[in-house]
């Protein structure tokens, strides 16, 4: 064969096996969309599923699968599936769980705003009945399961922003007795605090954008479940195409390596911040499961590791309206007002205009999201600095 032309050579330069006998100590980023084999029969076998391998990255790709193995390891599940965002993971898991025209989903009324909007704006118009319930009221959940015969019960392990803790083992039993699948959004807890699959949850969802990524630089979602359920979700993903990219998978894998040390520190900082806020005269009320007066304090102690209650703290500023809360948030110098959580740095958010903006004032009031409520995601900074910043901002905005 004649020497290929420059255009041919530049597109092939550097590619192919190096024949090296070394192994990289971290997962390499494999950005290839397509994979080729020594002969057509091998490619045919891979395409037909009788031989392992990769063909096209929407069907599977090595860096993304490395993340999926790490996620399954973390969650204690048989398998996991990575998606382009937490919302994509929720959408895919609910679709795979059988939400279809004529079916019903029973969900906790305390739910991430995006999830509630997904149910109301996407699933409901397709003929799915959406029913909400106070998920900490087990007799009410039990009655609703019997009455409405939902195919899915959806709850968050720790709810946003009031930090209610779900009794996942009891909910799994109630759901299964009623013939429903339990889907748990474990984003606020992370598998460090809790592994819902091991308590009977059928699908667990994580927005990896939050604690798993941990650095505010990557959007992603994960579904953990049985091998069979993950395979069904994967078949759906092959058609829907809400895949995670290899670069994002790599960033999340990197974040996961420090999940335990970050969460341990963040939970410890959050418990101290909660005590500080509780002692402050300008603070009317503090929501955090580490506090003995939290309604699910005992449950939290039963489900989570000792003295680890999550790293989000919500609180109400005494006699404050939106303007006073904004003044407090503007006065912060270290803590950043931004709409996420779970990052290494501390973040504050005003639920009434962010996560729960789409709701009416009445609806927010019914859910207990008052105009003086602030949600704080506590980072890994020195806790004295976080507390000093909160103290000066509370004083400056008084």
Ligand X SMILES: *Cc1c(COP(=O)(O)O)cnc(C)c1O
Binding residues (CB under 6 A) for ligand X: these are 85-87, 112, 114-115, 156, 160, 185, 187-188, 207, 209-210, 219, 221
Quote the least distance from Cβ 377 to ligand X, whole Å: 10
Q: Tell me the three state secondary structure of residue 294.
A: coil
Please confirm, yes or no, whether 147 is among the known catalytic residues.
no
Q: State the Cα torsion 207-210-216-217 to the nearest 10°.
A: -30
Could you give the CA distance from residue 18 to residue 14 in angstroms, rounded to a whole number?
Answer: 9
Please confirm, yes or no, whether 44 is among the known catalytic residues.
no
Looking at 110, 164, 167, 185, which residue is catalytic?
185
Quote the least distance from Cβ 171 to ligand X, whole Å: 16
Structure token pair of residue 82: 């990575």
| Residue closer to ligand X, measured from CB, 87 or 232 | 87
Answer yes or no: are the C-beta atoms of 312 and 163 closer than 8 Å: yes
Please confirm, yes or no, whether 58 is among the known catalytic residues.
yes
Please confirm, yes or no, whether 364 is among the known catalytic residues.
no
Q: What residue number has its CB nearest to ligand X?
A: 86
| Residue closer to ligand X, measured from CB, 160 or 225 | 160
Q: Tell me the three state secondary structure of residue 334.
A: coil
| Residue closer to ligand X, measured from CB, 141 or 347 | 347
Structure token pair of residue 146: 């019997």
Looking at 54, 110, 112, 167, which residue is catalytic?
112
Q: What's the sign of the alpha-carbon dihedral 255, 257, 260, 262? A: negative
User: Which DSSP helix (H) or strand (E) runs through 83?
Assistant: strand 79-83
Quote the least distance from Cβ 221 to ligand X, whole Å: 5
Structure token pair of residue 13: 């330069």
| Residue closer to ligand X, measured from CB, 167 or 185 | 185
Quote the least distance from Cβ 196 to ligand X, whole Å: 13
Q: Which of 122, 104, 209, 211 is nearest to 158 (CA)?
A: 211
Quote the least distance from Cβ 46 to ligand X, whole Å: 31
| Residue closer to ligand X, measured from CB, 268 or 355 | 355
Looking at 58, 254, 264, 370, which residue is catalytic?
58
Q: At CA 261, angle to CA 260 and CA 264, rounded to 5?
A: 80
Looking at 195, 210, 282, 375, which residue is catalytic?
210
Cis omega (within 30 of 0) for bond into 161: yes
Residues known to be catalytic: 58, 112, 185, 210
């Amino acid at each position: 064969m004649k020497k290929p032309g420059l255009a041919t050579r530049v597109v092939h330069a550097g590619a192919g096996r190096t024949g090296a006998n070394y192994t990289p100590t971290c997962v390499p980023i494999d950005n290839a969309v397509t994979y080729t084999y020594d002969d057509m029969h091998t490619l045919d076998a891979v395409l037909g599923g009788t031989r392992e391998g990769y063909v096209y990255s929407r069907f599977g790709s090595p860096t993304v699968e490395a993340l999926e193995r790490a996620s399954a390891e973390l969650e204690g599940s048989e398998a996991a599936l990575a998606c382009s965002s937490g919302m994509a993971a929720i959408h895919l898991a609910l679709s795979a769980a059988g939400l279809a025209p004529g079916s019903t989903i029973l969900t906790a009324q305390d739910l991430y705003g995006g999830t509630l909007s997904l149910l109301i704006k996407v699933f409901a118009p397709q003929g799915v009945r959406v029913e909400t319930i106070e998920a900490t009221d087990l007799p009410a959940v039990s009655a609703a399961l019997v009455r409405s015969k939902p195919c899915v019960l959806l709850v968050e392990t720790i709810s946003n922003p009031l930090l209610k803790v779900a009794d996942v083992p009891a909910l799994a039993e109630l759901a299964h007795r009623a013939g429903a699948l339990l889907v748990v959004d474990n984003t606020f807890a992370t598998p460090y605090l809790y592994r819902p699959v091991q308590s009977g949850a059928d699908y667990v969802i994580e927005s990896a954008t939050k604690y798993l990524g941990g650095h505010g630089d990557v959007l992603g979602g994960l579904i953990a479940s049985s091998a069979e359920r993950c395979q069904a979700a994967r078949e759906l993903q092959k058609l829907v195409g809400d895949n995670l990219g290899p670069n994002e998978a790599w960033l999340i894998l990197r974040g996961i390596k420090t999940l335990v040390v970050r969460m341990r520190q963040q939970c410890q900082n959050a418990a101290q911040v909660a005590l500080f806020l509780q002692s402050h005269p300008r603070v009317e009320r503090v929501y955090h499961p580490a506090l003995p007066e939290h309604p699910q304090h005992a449950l939290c102690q039963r489900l989570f590791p000792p003295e680890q209650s999550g790293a989000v703290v919500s609180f109400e500023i005494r006699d404050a309206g939106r303007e006073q809360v904004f003044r407090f948030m503007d006065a912060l110098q270290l803590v950043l007002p931004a709409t996420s959580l779970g990052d290494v740095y501390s973040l504050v958010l005003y639920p009434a205009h962010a996560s729960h903006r789409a709701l009416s004032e009445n609806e927010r009031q019914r859910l207990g999201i008052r105009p003086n409520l602030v949600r704080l995601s506590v980072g890994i900074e020195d806790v004295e600095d976080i507390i000093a910043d909160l103290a000066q901002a509370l004083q400056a905005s008084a």
